[in-house]
Amino acid sequence: MGFEIEHIGIIGAGQMGNGIAHVAAQSGYSVTMVDVKQEALDKAIATITKNMDRQISKNAMTEADKAAALGNIKTATSTAELAQCDLVVEAATENEAIKKKIFAEVDALLKPEAILASNTSSISITRLAAVTKRPEKFIGLHFMNPVPMMALVEIIKGLATTQETYERVLEVSVKMGKTAATSEDVPGFIVNRLLLPMLNEAAYALQDGVADVKSIDTAMKLGAGHPMGPLTLADFIGLDTCVAIMRVLHNELGDSKYRPCPLLVKFVDAGWLGKKTGKGFYDYADPTKPKPYR
C-alpha cells in the first residue's frame, strides 16, 4: 500500500474545522488548518486550547498530551500550505459553490495520491468530486458537532470513490477514536435525513400552536429520551444551518414533507439564528437561564 496518511489539512476554522483539527492533532496527526481570516484561526486555536483544558480537568488528557497535540497544529491563510498533505478535509460553509471553488483550487495543489474529503452535511459528494481530477480519491467525511465529544463520523462514497479510498479514510476515523456509519450519497445522508425533519416538525408544532417551546422540548427529552429537546438542539446547530439542510432535502428529493417550516425561515430572516447570535427559539441573554420565545 505504501502511502500512509500522516499529514491532514483542514479547510475552515469554524466550529467543525477546529473540532476536526483538535481530534486529528490529539490522535498524533500533523495538522495544517487553513482559513481566509487570521482571526478565525486565532479563535480556533483558543477554542481548541480551552477544550483541551476541559479534557485535562476531566482526567481525559494530560498537560503533556495537550502540549504535543497543540504542537501538531500549524495554521495558514493560504491553501498553498496544504500541498504536502496526505488527506485534506474541507469544513467550509455549507454552500455548494464555495465548496466547489475550494476543491478545484486545492485539487491542483495536491500530490496525486492525496485524498480529498468534505465534511458537508447535505451536499452531493459525487457533484463535489466532479470538479476535481481525482473523483476516485474523493469522499464524504461528516463529523458530528461538537467533534471532540461526538463518537460518530458518517463516511459517504461518491459514485467514483474507490474501496481503497474508503478503507484509508476508515483507518483515519478509527485512529481518531470515531465509530463510522457508512451512507449512500443521498441528500442529508443518515443523521440529517432523519434528524432535521424532526427539528423542522418541532418548529411546525410550535407554529401550529400544538405546544409552547418548553413543552415541546420537555416532551421529547422525557418522552423519547433525547438528551436535549428539538428546539434547543436547533438553536445549538444554528437555525440558518437547519433551513439550509431542509432546503437541500426539499430541492433534491422534491417531497413536500421536507418543506422548511415558515416560522423557522422567519427566525432566520430576522437574524435569530440560535445560540450563536444569542437568540432563536430561546433568548440567551442570560446563558444560565435561556428564555423561551413563547
Q: What is the model's pTM?
A: 0.90
Chain centroid to CA 150: 11
Residue of 154, 173, 183, 200 marked catalytic: 154
- Cell numbers at 25, concatenated: 492533532
Instruction: Compute how many other C-beta atoms are within 10 angstroms of the C-beta atom of residue 44.
Output: 24
pLDDT value, residue 2: 53
d(CA 173, CA 24): 9
Task: Determine whether 192 is an active site residue.
Answer: yes
| Cα angle 224-225-227, degrees, rounded to a multiple of 5 | 125
Q: Which residue stretches of the chain are H helix?
A: 15-26, 38-57, 63-71, 96-109, 125-129, 163-175, 191-207, 213-224, 230-237, 239-253, 262-269
Task: Determine whether 113 is an active site residue.
Answer: no
Instruction: Summarize pLDDT for 213-223 with one digit per residue, the tens.
Output: 999 999 999 99
Count how many residues are written for the chain: 294
Give SS3 for 53.
helix
- Cell numbers at 257, concatenated: 414533507
DSSP letter at 155 equals E
Q: Name the stretches of the chain with pLDDT < 50.
A: 1
d(CA 56, CA 1): 37
Domains (range + CATH), the chain: 7-183 (3.40.50.720), 191-292 (1.10.1040.10)
Half-sphere exposure of residue 213, counting CA atoms within 13 Å on the CB side? 16
SS3 content of the chain, % helix, strand, coil (to 5): 50, 15, 35
Residue of 18, 118, 121, 183 marked catalytic: 121
d(CA 88, CA 116): 5
Residue of 51, 122, 192, 200 marked catalytic: 192
Task: Determine whether 142 is an active site residue.
Answer: yes
Residue of 94, 119, 142, 200 marked catalytic: 142
d(CA 249, CA 45): 34
d(CA 2, CA 94): 34
Task: Determine whether 164 is an active site residue.
Answer: no
d(CA 184, CA 189): 7
